[in-house]
Amino acid sequence: MKYSNGSLTPSQTVAELDKYIIGQDDAKRAVAIAMRNRWRRQQVADNLRDEIMPNNIILIGPTGVGKTEIARRLAKLSNAPFIKVEASKFTEVGYVGRDVESMIRDLTDIAVNMVSSEKKEEVQEKAAELAEERILDILIPPVKKPIVKQADVVDEVNDEVEVENETFQNEKTREWMKQKLKKGEMDEKLIEFDANAPQIGVSVMGPMGMDDMGMNIQDIVSSMMPKKKKKRKTTIEKARKLILQEEAEKLIDMEAVQTEAIRRVQETGMVFIDEIDKVAGGGSDSRGPDVSREGVQRDLLPIVEGSTVNTKYGAVKTDHILFIASGAFHISKPSDLIPELQGRFPIRVELKSLTEEDFIKILTIPENALLKQYAALLKTEGVDVSFSEESISEVARTAAYVNEEVENIGARRLHTILTTLLEDILFDLPDKMDSKEIYIDKNLVNSKLDAIVKDRDLSKYIL
């Protein structure tokens, strides 16, 4: 379900997050309040609204405990432009690599696509009618009235009567054909039509680190150059989709789309900066190339603080974009970030490591639970798979044990455990297995995983 403008109350937001994420109540409460505050800000008088800054958040916790999932689900709930970036991918301006402003340009691209899709949905009905008329024009070209010259005035009346009869027959045939099209009776018929030729982009590279110079030439010259057409021959069913897309694009005002996209980015945009601990200084891992750790932080500062970033759609102000940063902070700690950047992330939330009980819930409760996913996959082969409670507990116990003994990768360990457990079934099912029901019990789990779990060297490579 999508909600606009952060209209959920904090408790409703937490309830929605609970459907997909187990535990981490503190983090859910923090992001729910931050989201509601964005809606509250919209209700404040204009003279004070611009003064209210978002409370950016740092989520601290090991990998696989739900940091990214919380931010991703939050963006879906609020129907806000959202982008996830890794801080370690950026370099200080002047070095080879991406500069931090590119995250805002990418976010704006996402917002434009989002608004464009919504506008196309609004005009789908009208676009479908126009697409149908274009297909009918190809199948039954409309009757053209002949041009009557002065010398032929004597025959003009006869010509007009003939044209009227032809037009009447043409309209009857078009109406009959239209009904067949609506019923899908013509879907497999081949049709040739003029389609927009795909645009080939050519990148223009600017100075090192200046991503905005890498714009597509097509964006610059498209307004001056007419769109090229290409003859295509395909079924009416496929042609209808292509023509509908073209007609929908003609009906929407791209300038209005871009204006709305920029407004959404500025008012409701969300940027999730993962691995922020990788650009923090300090810690025993400070050896090696350190060209841009602090440099990246200093480049991030004006973006998070509030500045104007030039994009191909126009200038975007970042003052009210919500930034959520996350990191494991195993080696470094939040206080190793430069003080100015720390001050721009006033809310700190520590996410807890997942326990065996959490793993049981993760396997069974969420709407996208792993066991439900595997059941759906096997159902495509006509097989029902079920797990006993003891087998689920054993999978959870194994995941918790391996995380503790080898390396803690959180809930991602469940993926590796289940893949190993079901490997033979998934491989043999299409060819060798005739059973329509598969029951996974504790004994099967133990027989599949015991040897690997006990051999610590082997578990490092397999689990």
Render pLDDT for 271-327 as a digit per residue (tens, 0 to 9).
Answer: 999 889 888 865 444 444 455 678 888 889 999 999 999 999 999 999 999 999 998
Phi and psi at 314, nearest 5°, equal: 130, 180
182 and 214 together in one domain:
yes
Q: How far apart are CA 5 and CA 1, in angstroms?
A: 13
Residue 306, domain member (yes or no): yes
pTM of this prediction exceeds 0.85: no
For residue 452, give the CATH number of its domain.
1.10.8.60
How high is the pLDDT of residue 95?
56
pLDDT of residue 319: 92
Between strands 384-387 and 437-440, the pairing is: parallel
pLDDT of residue 450: 79
Query: What is the number of residues in the chain?
Result: 463
Of 418 and 171, the one with more pLDDT:
418
pLDDT score of 171 more than 80: no
CB 248 within 8 A of CB 196: no
Count of domains for the chain: 3
Alpha-carbon distances of 73 from 14, 158, 186, 270, 307, rounded to whole Å? 11, 70, 42, 12, 27
E strand spans, 282-358? 308-311, 314-317, 322-327, 347-350
Q: Which of 224, 251, 278 is the last residue of a domain?
A: 251
Local confidence band at 160 (pLDDT 50, 70, 90 cut-offs):
low
Same domain, 178 and 75: no
Which residues lie closer than 8 Å to 416 by C-beta, 6 or more apart?
462, 463
CA distance 262 to 245: 24
Task: Give the per-residue pLDDT at 209.
Answer: 43
Q: Give the model's confidence band at 39: pLDDT under 50 very low, under 70 low, under 90 confident, else very high.
A: confident
Regarding whether 345 and 283 lie in a shared domain, the answer is yes
**Structural domain of 206:** 124-251
Tell me the average pLDDT across 372-392: 90
Q: Which of 65-69, 86-90, 165-169 has the lowest mean pLDDT?
A: 165-169
What's the pLDDT band for 263 if we cut at 50, 70, 90? Answer: very high
Q: Is the pLDDT of residue 218 over 90?
A: no
CA distance 74 to 37: 14
Residues 6+ apart with CB under 8 A from 164: none
**Residue 52 placed within a domain:** yes
One domain, residues 167 and 274: no
